[in-house]
C-alpha cells in the first residue's frame, strides 16, 4: 500500500516538474520558430543573470516566469470575484490531471535492486492500472472547457464572453470527430489502455498512421481544434476579441491560462504520437517486449520525447502557415466534413478488424494498406465535392 | 447516558420507544434536523435563516457520521478517501440547490458529478465513472452553462430567488434519506445473519468486471445480456436527434419564406 503511494507520488512530482519546465521552454521555442518564420531574430539576449553570457536566450523563460510572478494580480471591480479566480485554477488542474494516464516511456528494467510495489516492472505512467485510459483523457479534455467558459463569463466583458461562447461551441463540436478518430485506433488495438495501444503497434511494426490515414487526418484536425491552436484559435482571436476569454487577466491567473494552453498542446502531441505514430516504438531500435535493460528503457523514453517534440514543432509551424477560419467555416468543417470522414474511417476499421484479422502475408497487408489510402483519398475528394469550404469567402447574404 | 435514559423513561411510551430503538432514534433526529436545515437553506424569497439552516444541516451530518460502522484499522486509508469523497459529493449537492446564482449552482453540480464519478472509480466501476464525467459534466452541464449565460447574464431574477415548493421538496428529500439510512442500518447491524461489508471475492476479481480487463468484460455483458436495451436506447437517441434536426429545418425554411414574403411584397 505505502509502496504504491510512494511510487505514484514520485512519478507525479517528476511529471509536474518536467511539464512545467517543458511548458516554459516551449514558449521560448514557439517564439524562436515565430521569429524564424518571419525572418527576424527572436529572443536571444537573456542568459545567466548579472553576467554578459547570453546562451542563445535560454534564460528567457526564467525572466518571463519571474515577471509573471511579481506582477500585480489585478482584479477588476466588475468581475465575479470567486469564479474569476476559480476558472484558471480549474483549467490548469484539468490539463495537469490528464497526464495521469499518458505514458512517458515504456517500463523500467525488472532488476532494479529494490523491491517493487506490485511485483511487475515499474511502468512509466502515473496510473498504470486504469483500463479506460483513453476515455479518461477524453473526459478531462471535455472538462477543460469549464475554465474557458467561466473565465469568459466571470470577466464580465463582452470580448471575454464572446471568446467563452465561441470556445464552448468549438470544443463541443470537435469532441465528436476527436472521439471518432480515437475509436478507429481503439478498434485496431482492442483496448482503451494507452500502453496496450503502443504495444500492439510495436509488436506488429505497423504504426496506425499507415493503416488508417483517414482516422489520423480527422484526429489531427480535431486535436488542433481542441487545443485551440491556429487555425482554430477563435476563442482568443487577438484581432477580433483582443485576447478572448483571458482579456481581463493579468499576473499569475493569466500565467495559469497560458500554461494550461501549452499543456493542451503537449497532450495533443503525446496523443498523436501514442495513437498514430507508435509511441516509444521505432523500427530496429526499441524492440517490443517488456523484458528490457536500462539502455532500451532510456532509448524508448528518448524516442517518445523526440517524436513528441517533432509533433510540437509541426504544430508551431502550422500556426504561421494557415489563416484563421471564419466561425461558420469552423462549424461546417466539424459537422459536414470531419464527422462523415470519421464515420467512414470507423466503418473501414471495423470491417478490417472483422475480416482482415487472418491476413498475415506481407502482400496481403500491403494491399490492405494501399486500399486504406485509396479509400482515404476517395473520401476526401467526396467531402471536397459535397461540402466545399472555400468556394465562396464573401460574407453570407442569407444570414438573418 | 444513564441520566438521559432515565429522563426519557419518564416521558412514557415515546420515551420508552426511543430507549429501545437507540440508533434508529438518532437517525430519525438527524433526518429531521437535516430536513429542517435544508428547508431553511433553500432560496425562499427574502426570508432569512440560511446560516441557521447551514448549521442545522452540518449538525445532522455530524449525527449521521456518529452512526458510521467502523472498519478495521488496516483499511483506514481507503476509508478516509471514501469519507472525503462522500463529504465532497453531499456538500456540493446541498450547495447546488441552495445557491441563488444559477451559474454557481451549475458549478456546484459539476463538483457533485465529479465526486460521484470518484466514488464510482473508488468502487472499481471505471467505465461508469468516466462516462459520468464525459456525458454529464462534459456535455450536458456545459450546455446548461451555455444557456444560463446567454439567457440571463445578470443572474438574480425573481425566479432565481425562490425555490418552488421549498417545504415539500425538503420534506420529500428528508423522508427518502431517512428511510434509506434506517433500512441500511437495520440490514447491517440488527439481524444476526445480515450481509456484512466484505472485500470483493477472488472470483469477482478474476472473472467479473473488477479484473484488469474491465472494459472488455463490461462490453461482453452489455452486448450479450442487455443487447436489446442497448439497441432500443440507441434508437431512442436517434429519434430525438432526427426530431431536433427537423425542428431546426422547419424553422429555417419558414424564416426563408417570411423573408421572401417581405422582399416581394
Residue B188's pLDDT band (cuts 50, 70, 90): low
Tell me which residue in B146, B149, B212 faces A129 most closely, judged by beta carbons.
B212
pLDDT for res B207: 65
Q: What is the distance, to the nearest Å, from the Cα of residue B71 to the centroid of all Cα atoms in its chain?
A: 24
- B222-246 average pLDDT score: 91
DSSP for residue B43? -
Closest Cα in chain B to A190: B216
Residues of B in contact with A350 (CB under 8 A): none
Residues of A in contact with B77 (CB under 8 A): 1
d(CA A165, CA B82): 36
Residues of chain B with a CB closer than 8 angstroms to some CB in chain A: 77, 103-104, 107, 110, 126-127, 130-131, 133-134, 137-139, 142-143, 145-146, 149-150, 153, 212-216, 255-256
Residue B191's pLDDT band (cuts 50, 70, 90): low
d(CA B241, CA A161): 29
Residue B20's pLDDT band (cuts 50, 70, 90): low
pLDDT for res B62: 82
Q: A259-313 pLDDT, tens per residue?
A: 888 899 999 999 999 999 988 888 877 777 777 777 788 888 888 999 999 999 9
pLDDT surpassing 80 at residue B163: no
H/E run at residue A106: none
- Residue B162's beta-bridge partner residues? B44
Report yes or no: A129 at the B interface, CB cutoff 8 Å.
yes
Q: Do A149 and B150 touch (CB under 8 A)?
A: no
**Range of weakest confidence among A84-88, B55-59, B199-203:** B199-203
Q: Which residue has the higher pLDDT, B151 or B34?
A: B34
Q: Which residue has the higher pLDDT, B72 or A202?
A: A202
Answer yes or no: are the C-beta atoms of B173 and B35 closer than 8 Å.
yes
Q: Which residue has the higher pLDDT, B9 or A343?
A: A343
As to burial, measured by CB atoms within 10 angstroms (0-12 exposed, 13-18 middle, 19+ buried), residue B137 is buried
DSSP for residue B138? I
d(CA B200, CA A232): 48
Q: Which residue has the higher pLDDT, B9 or B29?
A: B29
pLDDT for res B63: 81
Task: Return the percentage of chain A with pLDDT > 70, whole number.
Answer: 92
Cell of residue B123, nine digits: 468502487
Residue B92's pLDDT band (cuts 50, 70, 90): very high
pLDDT surpassing 70 at residue B171: yes
pLDDT surpassing 80 at residue B7: no
Residues of B in contact with A400 (CB under 8 A): 255
- B1-8 average pLDDT score: 59
Average pLDDT, chain B: 77
pLDDT surpassing 60 at residue A155: yes
- B102-127 average pLDDT score: 88
Q: Do B134 and A135 touch (CB under 8 A)?
A: yes
pLDDT for res A395: 63
Listed residue (A66, A68, A62, A30) closest to A45, CA to CA: A62
DSSP for residue A107? B
pLDDT for res A67: 87
Report yes or no: A350 at the B interface, CB cutoff 8 Å.
no
Task: Return the percentage of chain A with pLDDT > 90, whole number.
Answer: 8
Which residue out of B126, B137, B155, B253 would a mutagenesis test of the A interface target, given it has the greatest number of A Cβ atoms within 10 Å?
Answer: B126
pLDDT for res B265: 47
d(CA A161, CA A171): 15
Residue B165's pLDDT band (cuts 50, 70, 90): confident
Report yes or no: A343 at the B interface, CB cutoff 8 Å.
no
Q: Which residue has the higher pLDDT, A377 or B259?
A: A377
For A156-191, give one letter per residue: b (16+ CB within 10 A) or e: bbebbbbbbbbbbbbbbbbbbbbbbbbbbbbbbbeb
Q: Which residue has the higher pLDDT, B219 or B250?
A: B219
Average pLDDT, chain A: 83
pLDDT for res A398: 63
Tell me which residue in A86, A132, A191 faces B130 most closely, judged by beta carbons.
A132
Answer yes or no: are the C-beta atoms of B142 and A168 closer than 8 Å.
yes
Q: Do B146 and A165 touch (CB under 8 A)?
A: yes
Q: Which residue has the higher pLDDT, A268 or A332?
A: A268
Listed residue (A271, A366, A266) closest to A315, CA to CA: A266
pLDDT for res A327: 80
H/E run at residue B206: helix B202-207
d(CA B8, CA B18): 7
Q: A183-196 pLDDT, tens per residue?
A: 889 888 888 888 88
Answer yes or no: are the C-beta atoms of A169 and A334 closer than 8 Å.
no
Q: Which residues contact A361 (CB under 8 A, 6 or more apart)?
A: none
Amino acid at each position: 500500500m505505502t509502496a504504491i503511494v510512494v511510487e505514484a507520488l514520485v512519478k507525479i512530482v517528476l511529471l509536474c516538474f518536467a511539464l512545467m519546465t517543458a511548458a516554459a521552454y516551449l514558449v521560448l521555442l514557439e517564439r524562436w520558430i515565430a521569429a524564424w518564420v518571419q525572418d527576424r531574430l527572436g529572443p536571444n539576449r537573456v542568459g545567466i543573470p548579472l553576467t554578459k553570457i547570453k546562451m542563445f536566450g535560454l534564460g528567457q523563460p526564467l525572466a518571463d516566469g519571474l515577471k509573471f510572478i511579481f506582477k500585480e494580480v489585478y482584479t477588476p471591480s466588475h468581475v465575479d470575484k470567486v469564479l474569476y479566480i476559480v476558472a484558471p485554477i480549474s483549467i490548469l488542474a484539468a490539463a495537469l490531471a490528464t497526464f495521469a494516464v499518458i505514458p512517458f516511456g515504456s517500463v523500467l528494467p525488472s532488476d532494479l535492486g529494490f523491491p517493487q510495489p506490485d511485483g511487475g516492472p515499474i511502468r512509466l505512467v502515473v496510473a498504470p492500472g486504469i483500463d479506460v485510459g483513453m476515455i479518461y483523457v477524453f473526459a478531462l479534455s471535455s472538462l477543460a472547457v469549464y475554465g474557458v467558459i467561466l473565465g469568459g463569463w466571470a470577466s464580465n466583458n463582452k470580448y471575454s464572453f464572446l471568446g467563452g461562447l465561441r470556445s464552448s461551441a468549438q470544443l463541443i463540436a470537435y469532441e465528436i470527430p476527436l472521439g471518432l478518430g480515437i475509436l478507429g485506433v481503439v478498434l485496431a488495438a482492442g483496448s482503451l489502455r494507452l500502453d496496450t495501444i503502443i504495444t500492439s503497434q510495436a509488436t506488429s511494426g505497423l504504426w496506425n498512421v499507415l493503416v488508417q490515414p483517414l482516422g489520423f487526418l480527422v484526429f489531427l484536425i480535431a486535436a488542433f481544434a481542441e487545443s485551440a491552436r491556429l487555425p482554430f484559435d477563435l476563442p482568443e482571436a487577438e484581432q477580433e476579441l483582443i485576447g478572448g476569454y483571458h482579456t481581463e487577466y493579468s499576473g499569475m491567473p493569466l500565467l495559469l491560462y497560458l500554461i494550461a494552453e501549452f499543456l493542451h498542446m503537449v497532450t495533443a502531441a503525446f496523443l498523436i504520437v501514442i495513437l498514430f505514430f507508435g509511441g516509444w516504438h521505432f523500427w530496429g531500435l526499441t524492440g517490443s517486449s517488456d523484458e528490457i535493460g536500462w539502455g532500451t528503457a532510456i532509448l524508448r523514453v528518448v524516442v517518445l520525447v523526440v517524436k513528441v517534440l517533432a509533433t510540437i514543432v509541426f504544430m508551431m509551424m502550422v500556426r504561421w502557415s494557415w489563416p484563421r477560419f471564419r466561425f461558420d467555416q469552423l462549424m461546417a468543417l466539424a459537422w459536414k466534413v470531419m464527422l462523415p470522414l470519421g464515420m467512414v474511417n470507423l466503418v473501414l476499421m471495423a470491417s478490417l478488424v472483422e475480416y482482415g484479422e487472418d491476413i498475415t502475408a506481407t502482400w496481403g497487408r500491403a494491399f490492405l494498406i494501399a486500399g486504406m489510402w485509396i479509400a482515404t483519398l476517395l473520401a476526401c475528394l467526396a467531402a471536397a465535392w459535397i461540402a466545399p469550404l472555400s468556394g465562396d469567402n464573401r460574407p453570407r447574404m442569407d444570414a438573418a | 447516558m444513564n441520566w438521559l435514559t432515565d429522563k426519557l423513561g419518564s416521558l412514557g411510551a415515546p420515551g420508552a420507544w426511543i430507549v429501545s430503538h437507540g440508533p434508529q432514534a438518532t437517525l430519525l433526529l438527524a433526518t429531521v434536523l437535516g430536513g429542517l436545515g435544508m428547508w431553511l437553506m433553500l432560496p425562499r424569497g427574502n426570508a432569512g435563516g440560511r446560516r441557521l439552516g447551514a448549521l442545522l444541516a452540518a449538525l445532522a451530518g455530524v449525527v449521521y457520521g456518529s452512526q458510521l460502522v467502523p472498519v478495521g484499522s488496516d483499511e483506514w486509508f481507503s476509508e478516509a478517501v471514501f469519507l472525503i469523497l462522500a463529504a465532497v459529493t453531499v456538500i456540493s449537492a446541498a450547495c447546488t440547490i441552495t445557491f441563488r446564482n444559477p451559474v454557481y449552482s451549475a458549478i456546484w453540480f459539476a463538483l457533485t458529478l465529479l465526486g460521484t464519478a470518484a466514488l464510482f472509480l473508488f468502487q472499481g466501476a471505471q467505465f461508469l465513472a468516466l462516462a459520468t464525467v464525459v456525458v454529464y459534466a462534459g456535455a450536458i452541464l456545459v450546455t446548461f452553462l451555455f444557456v444560463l449565460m446567454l439567457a440571463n447574464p445578470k443572474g438574480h431574477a425573481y425566479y432565481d430567488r425562490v425555490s418552488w415548493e421549498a417545504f415539500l421538496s425538503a420534506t420529500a428529500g428528508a423522508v427518502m434519506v431517512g428511510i434509506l439510512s434506517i433500512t441500511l442500518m437495520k440490514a447491517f447491524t440488527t439481524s444476526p445473519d445480515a450481509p456484512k461489508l466484505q472485500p470483493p471475492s477472488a472470483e469477482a476479481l478474476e472473472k467479473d468486471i473488477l479484473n484488469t480487463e474491465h472494459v472488455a468484460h463490461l462490453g461482453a455483458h452489455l452486448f450479450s445480456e442487455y443487447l436489446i436495451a442497448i439497441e432500443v436506447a440507441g434508437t431512442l437517441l436517434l429519434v430525438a436527434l432526427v426530431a431536433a434536426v427537423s425542428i431546426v429545418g422547419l424553422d429555417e425554411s419558414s424564416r426563408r419564406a417570411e423573408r421572401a414574403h417581405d422582399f416581394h411584397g
